[in-house]
Each structure stands twice: as structure tokens, then as C-alpha cells.
Amino acid sequence: MPASSIDTYQFDNGLTLLVEQMPWLESAAVTFLLPAGCQRDPTTQPGLAKLTAEMLQRGCGNLPSRELEQAMDQLGLARSTAVTNYHTRLSAAMPATRLPAALSLYADLLQRPLLPATQIDDGRMVCIQELLAMQDDLSQKLMEQLRIRQYPDPYSRSAHGTLEALQEISIDDVQQFYTQNFTPRETIISIAGNVNSKEMSQTVNALFGNWTGHETSQINTTPPPGGHHHLEQESNQTQIGIVFPSVPYSHPDYFQARGAVGVLSDGMSSRLFSEVREKRGLCYTVFAMCHTLREQGCVLTYAGTTTERAQETLDVLLSELIRLGDGILPEELGRLKAKIKSGLIMQQESSNSRASSIAADWHLLGKVRTTHELSQILDDLSCDSINHYLANNRPTNFRVVTLGQDALDTTGANTTDSTSTNSGVL
Amino acid sequence: MNNQAAVQSNIEFKRHTLSNGLELVAECNPDAVSTGLAFFVRTGARDESIELSGVSHFLEHMCFKGTPTRSAEDVNRELDEMGSQSNAFTSQEQTVYFCSVLPEHQLSALNLLSDIMRPTLRQSDFDTEKQVILEEIAKYDDQPPYGGHDAALVKHFKSHPLGNSVLGTAESVSALTQPQMLEYFHRQYSANNLTLAVAGKIDFVKIVEQLEAECGDWNNHDVQRDTQRYSTTPDTANITNIHKNGTHQQYIIQITDGPSATDADRSAGQLMATIFGDDNNSRLFWDLIDTGKAEYAVLESQEYQGSGIFLGYLCCPPESQESLLQRYCQLTTKLHENGVTQQELDTAQAKVCSHIVLRSERPANRMFNVGNNWIQRGIYETTREAIERIEAVTRHDIQKVLDKYPLSPATTVATGPEKEQH
């Protein structure tokens, strides 16, 4: 398999196109990141980005919604749409020969959506249904609360919105949100797969080159609420979440932090899996992960366990987080490197993962790391460098959120005063 | 449509059978960058008696807890050391242990996987892991559809073993003993009841040599499974509502009979389910999802050896349950009366074939496909053949499936805030 190359094209209207040629594949995938995430929801209208994304798919150009979906299916697009905090994200994978036709449909969808007023109530109901179903998803509920404890608003928001707000949003609000935020200026289009980079840039230029739009507005932040939090819930298990500050993806030390968290949580020989699940049988699911914004990051830790064993689980989790500050062992890092490296190579089997990965890189870094560069960074990572990082950045300032029948004793989490983090400036 | 590109000429199928009956099936692709390996054990919930409920899944966990030559830590550590993406799952009729690695680790991966197929099943590990299983049961009981899936299968299959729960219950798992598991293991993990499926970049000769050396002395005896077809006519008036405190939405599951894993009409069944109940651009989508009447509404076909079912999943606010079920029933009636249009069939075929092509790019996906085809049907099917099978389905085939397997009346179970039966 030859090494892939990544080309970047900047268009006059501010649009960025990234293309990774993977000629050994038969597929191609495209990801669109639009600066229309729920962080742009007006304070009084949580859920507006989500409803706009829903309405966006209800027809475009001269195709009403059914014909649009029909055209996408005939092209064999395996597709998805999601609203994240930063973005409205559309993606599709397909046999590579269908990509130009697919781009043409997406060009209409993003620049000439019908946003049909007659369907606003249907779209609203779709969003309300999702909101209601989300309330039954306990681990997701917990993770959303954890973000709220860590990041300033609006970076901590989830896209679901509230029932009250969703009921009030009009088609004019949707139209206005679309006009303000579906703009080429900060939009990223990434393409990966069996494509020709130059041809793609010409196609994208022809389809999106004349797209115009405003610059998106400034975001004002407010700091997160401090302290721990318990949400009462009638359930068998208590959901336990712990968050603590870390560095973002753009930080020079990111891979030191990521390496440390990998030792904690990646794989079946990781510390959390072996201490919490294998040795003590305390839970079925336990993990920690690095979460990153552009200029701020954190580590999210999760375990779900039955009520009577929840306190022990929280205590073991905290002791493992604190012990991480003492450093990691060379053999732990060796295993982690093997795992990440094989993951990087296997990513070359999927146009979809590459398209999504390079778009995320551009968003977070303003550049793209090739698989080769990532591999080099991984090689340079040493036990000493990670331990040096950990010595200067011991996990601390924990915030605990629990969801279940009983609140837990969180005194073990109060390792230092928690005023030193979260300046609220991004 | 043209999916010619999906035919890769340098892909080759190879197989080998050990004298003890253990089978190896391999799809060799010299251009692949990874190797997928999986032991498919022909055992699952349907092979359990009532007192053994949950043992197949519990045993799947125990296989990672050590062998005569490896501790549990060794197993976990080695899987990570070779950078593998590995896991296992248990279903009604299979237990599958799988591992994706870079090609240079294929023999170490095989060594480890074959070793854990002969686990020690130590009492102390059994006791600790039982707690993990009980946590897993508690976790799924907190998640939609709150045990509704198991309840619907039991209601549909009654005392037939396909109604058995994969996880078992807290009671059944708590009562399981280590000697019971050991006996079940000896009965079900006979060499001839296992298939090793491999896909991607493969050194076939070395894999065969190693398999012979490491698994050639595995014991071998007849393993029985009754695969006679189970059919039932559900009573539509009888909806079971299972109340769950603290929940918001109703989760409804509907089951009717469908084609089995070996029936020729299974492809028509899959396409019918796509046209009627795919999660996008299907009849259920346009009627119930696009309008916001339901959070989701999908129909899937589930094939077993000898039997099959169509499974409908619906989610809506509790106050909408009755009207939603009525509407669902109207949609099935219309489908049975008028069949599907040629345009619907063309679209569904394009969609399904494209997904087959996309999935085929990963050796890990091909490994599941090759292994599953072998143990369920005793066949190897190339990606091109799979596409041809889907493209060969006609409207007439779909009509025959609809005539043979009515989607209404259905076995219906709902979980959520709703208390009383309708």
C-alpha cells in the first residue's frame, strides 16, 4: 500500500477542501463541517441548530425531500447528519465513482435548501422525539452533565435543546440561523478515498466556488458551575463520571496526555479495565478518554455499577486517577504504541474514517497530520516524556457527577482547590 | 447499477479441515493491510436448558480468564501487545471470538485465540466474573428497551429455545455453578463445532500448520441442535406492556415469522424489510419518522438455523403508542395488498449493494461474513456473488415473501412508562 497524500485547497470564499487520495480503495467518503453547531444556538432558543439541520434535509434545489433521499439512495450513499457543539456535520461514504454526483446533491443541500415552512412542525416533532429518547439514555445524560461541569457555556452545550424552546422555534428562526451560520468561510469539506485530488478541487470549485456568506459572530462564554453534582434517577446502576482538566489537541503536550490516558484506558490490559473490572468485578463498562475543544481539553472518566457497589467503584476510579500522577511503565507504553499504530494502519482501510479524521485535524489545528506524521509522533513518545508531563500535570481538580439512586461520598475527589482552572477564556 | 469494481481478482478462498472436524475457512487478499481471525463456535442461548440460562455468554467472558499456560493478565496483555482490536460476542446460536491484527502478528493472534478456546475456568475467576455479568445485566436493564427484546422473543417463541435470553437473568446467572459451565463447555466446544474464519492478508500454509499443531488434539464428538422450524400465529389483541419506572418513551417490539438462514427467500425478505422499514427513505421512515410520529420505526429480518423472524422496533411517547400501532398495522396491510413498486425495489437494491461494497473493504468485516456464511449455510460467497444475489430479487419474490410471512398480526411487547395493557 503506497503512502497516502493529503492536499489542501483554500477557495476565495473561505472554504477549505482537504483531499486524501487512497487509490487502493474502491470507496470514497466526504465530510462537511459547517460552523453551525449548537454553540451558536441563541440562549433563548436551545435546539435551533438541531432543528435547522433537520429542516436542511427536507429538500433542496429542485428536489423535494423524498426525491432528494431517493437520489441519495440510488447513489448508494451511506450517510449521516449530526449536530455537535461546534458543527453541523454531514458525511457520506459511497463507491468512488459516485462521488461527483453526490457532491452535486450536497452543493444544492448546503446552498439551496428549501427549508419548507409546511414541514416545520414535522421537523420540530422529530427533534422533540430525539430529546425525549435522550432522557432515557442514562450514560449520555451523565456525559452531558460532565461537560457542563468542565467547559464554559456555550462550549458545554448539547444539541438537543429543550422542549419549551423547540415548541417556540419558527421557520423564520430556522431561515435566519441558516443564513448566519451556513457560510463557506469556516466550512471544511474533506474527501478521502479512490479519487483524484485535482479533479476533486475542480469539482468542488465549480459546485461551491460561488457560495457566499457572512462571517460567523463572536462567541461569549460564561464559566461552568463548580463542584460535584448528583442527579437522582430510579435505576439499577449508578452512573459515575469524573472529569478533570487536560490539554487540548492543539497543545504541544497533547500526545503526552493522550499517552497517559491510553495507559489508563486503552485495551484490556489497561489500568482501569484490569483494576476496576478484571480484579474486582465492579462493573461491565469503564473507561477514560481525552476530550478536546480547540483551546481547552479534559479527561472524561466513566463507570456504571450497581448502587451498592458504586462507592467502592468511585473510590477505586479516583485512586487510579491519582496513581497515574506517579507515572507509567515502559511496558504499558509499549502496548499502547502497538495498539495505536495498528489502529492508524487499519484506518487506511476506511475512506470514511480518514475523511472524518482529516476534517477534525483541520478544525482543531488548522492543518492536517498525515498517518506518517502521527506515526512519527508516536515513535517519539517515551516513558520519560510522559512521566515528565505527568509529574508537572498530575490529574487533579476532579469534578464528580453521579446519576442513580443515592449520592456518593465525593471527599476523595477533593484533591486540591478547584479555582485554578477554567478561566472561561477560549 | 454497476458494482463490477467490487470483484477483486486476486482474492482467493481456501479451506482446510482437521481430522477432528475443526474447520478453517479463509479469504486471502494479498493486498490487504490487516488480518482478521475469528473462532465461530456453534453454540449460544438456543443450546441452553432453563437452568443453564446465560451460560454461553458467561463462558465467552471466562475464555478470556486464562488457560493452563496463560493467566487472565497474560491473555489481556498479549492481545494488547500485538496491537489487536479484539473482542467476542454471543448470540442465540453463535459465540464468536475475534481479533484484527497487522499481518505480521497473525500467527501470534492465532496462537492466543486457539489457546483461549481451551480455558481453565478457575473457580475464583468464575466468582469474580459472575459479578461483571450481573453488572452487564443491570446495565442493559437500565437501557431501552429495558429487557423488551428478551421478553418479546420469549413471548413469540414460547418454550422453543430460540426464545432463550442470551444474557440470562440475574437469578439464572447467580445460580450457575462452575461445574455446570465446565460440563457445558465440554459438550459444546467440541472441535467439530468450531470454525476458524480468517480474512485479509494471510499466510495460509503457516496458519494450517499451526492450527494442526495447536488444535489437532482437541476432542471431538457429536453436538446436537434441533433446528426444526418454529412457526406461530401471534394474537394481535394481546399487547404486553412492561412498566419501567423513571422512563420517558415507550419502546415497542413486534415479531412475526420470517425466512430462515438457509431459505432461498431470505434475500427477498431482507429487501422487503429495507423497503418497508429501513432507518432512512423507507415506508416507515416517511410515514412515522419524517413526520415526527415516532422516534424510530424500523423493520429488520433476523435469520436463524431453521427459523427466522421479522423484528419491528418502534419508539414513541407513551400517549402515542395506540395510534402508532394502528398506523403501523395500516402500513403493513397496504404493503400486503399492493406489494412494492419497481422503483422501491431498485432503490433498495442499490442501497443494499452499495453497503455490501463499502463493508467489504475491511478484512474484519469479510471475516465475519465468511465465518457466518460458513457456519450458517456451509457456503463461501464472494462480494460479487452477494451483490448478484441481491440484484436477482424481483417484485414477484417480494410478493411471495409477503404472502408467506404476514407482518400482522405480530407478537407485541412494549416497555416504558405505560402501565396497563391496551
* Model pLDDT, residue B7: 46
Residue to test with chain B: of A278, A279, A371, most B Cβ within 10 A: A278
Mean pLDDT of A61-79: 96
Pinpoint the residues of chain A covered by CATH 3.30.830.10.
Answer: 5-208, 229-413
Q: Give the model's pLDDT for residue A226.
A: 83
The shortest CB-CB distance from A78 to any of B143, B281, B358 is to B358
Q: Is the pLDDT of residue A374 over 80?
A: yes
| In chain B, domain spans | 4-215, 239-416
What is the model's pLDDT at position A1? 52
Q: Which residues pair with B250 in a beta bridge?
A: B316
The Cα of B133 is separated from the nearest Cα of chain A by a number of Å equal to 7
Instruction: Please give the residue that has the higher pLDDT: either B402 or A218.
Output: B402
Which residues in A165-182 are b (16+ Cβ under 10 Å) and which e?
bbeebebebbeebbebbb
pLDDT in the model for residue B232: 83
Cis peptide before A252 (omega within 30 of 0): no
Residue A21 grid coordinates: 487520495
In 3D, which of A201, A184, A208 has the Cα closest to residue A21? Answer: A201
User: Does a cis peptide bond (omega within 30 degrees of 0) precede residue A35?
Assistant: no
Beta-bridge mates of residue A185: none
Backbone phi, then psi, for A240, in 5-degree steps? Answer: -115, 125
Q: Is B124 on the interface with A (CB under 8 A)?
A: no
Q: What is the CATH number of domain A5-208?
A: 3.30.830.10
For this complex, say whether ipTM is above 0.90.
yes
CB contact under 8 A, A338 and B80: yes
User: Lowest-pLDDT range, A114-118, A214-218, A392-396, B72-76?
Assistant: A214-218
- Whole-number Å distance between alpha carbons of A139 and A302: 9
Sheet holding B411-416, edge to edge: B239-243, B411-416, B250-257, B308-316, B296-303
CA atoms within 13 A on the CB side of A161: 30
Q: Which regions in chain B score pLDDT beneath 50?
A: 1-7, 422
Count how many pairs of residues, chain A against chain B, have C-beta atoms within 8 Å.
Answer: 206
> Under an 8 A CB cutoff, do B85 and A281 touch?
no
Cell for A373? 506524521
Longest dimension (CA), chain B: 63
**CATH number given to B4-215:** 3.30.830.10
- CA-CA distance, B160 to B111, in Å (whole number)? 37
Asked if B148 reaches chain A (Cβ–Cβ under 8 Å), the answer is no
Cβ-based contacts of B31 with chain A (< 8 Å): 1, 24
- Chain A nearest CA to B41, separation (Å): 22
Strand partners, A122: none
Q: How much is the pLDDT for B9?
A: 65
- Residue A365 neighbours by CB distance under 10 Å: 14
- DSSP string across B303-341: E-SS-EEEEEEEEE-GGGHHHHHHHHHHHHHHHHHH---
Distances (CA, A) of A404 to A233, B67, B251, B252: 4, 38, 21, 25
Chain A hits for B72, Cβ within 8 Å? 278
Cα–Cα nearest to A286, from A272, A300, A269: A272
Q: How many angstroms separate the CA atoms of A337 and A371, rounded?
A: 14
Band the pLDDT of A426: cuts 50, 70, 90.
very low
Q: Which triple of cell numbers denotes residue B382?
A: 464472494
Of A65, A78, A304, the CB nearest to B139: A304
Classify burial at A298, counting beta carbons within 10 Å of its beta carbon; exposed 0-12, middle 13-18, buried 19 or more: buried
pLDDT of residue B6: 44
B-contacting residues of A 8-47, CB under 8 Å?
24-27
Is any Cβ of chain A less than 8 angstroms from the Cβ of B76?
A: yes
DSSP string over A372-394: HHHHHHHHH--HHHHHHHHHHS-
Contacts of B139 in chain A (CB under 8 A): 236-237, 284-285, 304
Please report, for residues A10, B236, B240, B399, B404, the alpha-carbon distance to residue B330 in angstroms, rounded to integers and kept in the order given: 52, 13, 20, 17, 18
Ramachandran category for residue A47: left, alpha or beta (phi over 0 → left; psi -120 to 50 → alpha) = left
Closest CA to B371 of B16, B41, B18, B33: B41
pLDDT digits (tens, 9 = 90+) for A256-286: 999 999 999 999 999 999 999 999 999 999 9
Q: Residue B253: beta bridge partners?
A: B313, B413
Q: Is B353 exposed, middle or buried (0-12, 13-18, 19+ CB in 10 A)?
A: buried
Helix, strand, coil abundance in chain A, percent, nearest 5: 45, 20, 35
Q: What span, in angstroms and rounded, lies between the C-alpha atoms of B39 and A335?
A: 24
Instruction: Return all residues near B265 (Cβ < 8 A) that are at least 6 apart.
Output: B259, B397, B400, B401, B404
Nearest CA in chain B to A68: B281
Q: Could you give the CA distance from residue A46 to residue A168 in angstroms, rounded to a whole number?
A: 10
Q: Is the separation of the CB atoms in B106 and B207 below 8 Å?
A: yes
Phi and psi dihedrals of B392, rounded to 5?
-80, -15
Cis peptide bond upstream of B409, omega within 30: yes
CB A36 within 8 A of CB A179: no
Do the beta carbons of residue A9 and residue A362 sit within 8 Å? no
Q: Which of A56, A163, A273, A349 is the best mutation test for B, with the most CBs of B within 10 A?
A: A349
pLDDT (tens digit per residue) in A297-340:
999 999 999 999 999 999 999 999 999 999 999 999 999 999 99
Distance from the B340 Cα atom to the nearest Cα atom in chain A, whole angstroms: 15
Between CA A264 and CA A323 the distance in angstroms is: 10
The CATH class that applies to domain B239-416 reads: alpha beta
Tell me the chain A residues in contact with residue B363 when contact means C-beta distances shorter than 8 Å.
349
Please say if the pLDDT value at position A4 is more than 90: no
Q: Angle formed by the axes of helices B266-277 and B342-359, to 10°?
A: 110
Alpha carbon A333 to its chain's center:
25
DSSP run (H or E) holding B28: strand B23-28
Predicted confidence at residue A5, as pLDDT, reads 81
CA–CA separation, A274 and B115 (whole Å): 20
Contact B292 A121 (CB under 8 A): yes
Which A residues 250-289 touch B at CB under 8 Å? 266-270, 273-274, 277-285
For B246, the closest of A132, A235, A335 (CB atoms) is A235
Identify which of A291, A245, A300, A53 has the alpha carbon closest to the alpha carbon of residue A161. Answer: A53
Right CATH for A229-413 from 3.40.1080.10, 3.30.830.10, 3.20.20.70, 3.90.70.10: 3.30.830.10
Question: Residue A417: pLDDT above 50?
Answer: no
Interface test with A, best of B281, B298, B320, B346 (most A CBs within 10 A): B281
Q: Where are the alpha helices (DSSP H) in A246-349?
A: 254-265, 271-272, 310-324, 330-347
Using CB atoms, pick whichever of B76, B102, B289 lies closest to residue A269.
B76
What pairing do the DSSP bridges indicate for beta strands A78-83 and A16-21? unpaired
Query: Which residues does chain A have within 8 Å of residue B315's beta carbon, measured at their own beta carbons?
Result: 129, 133
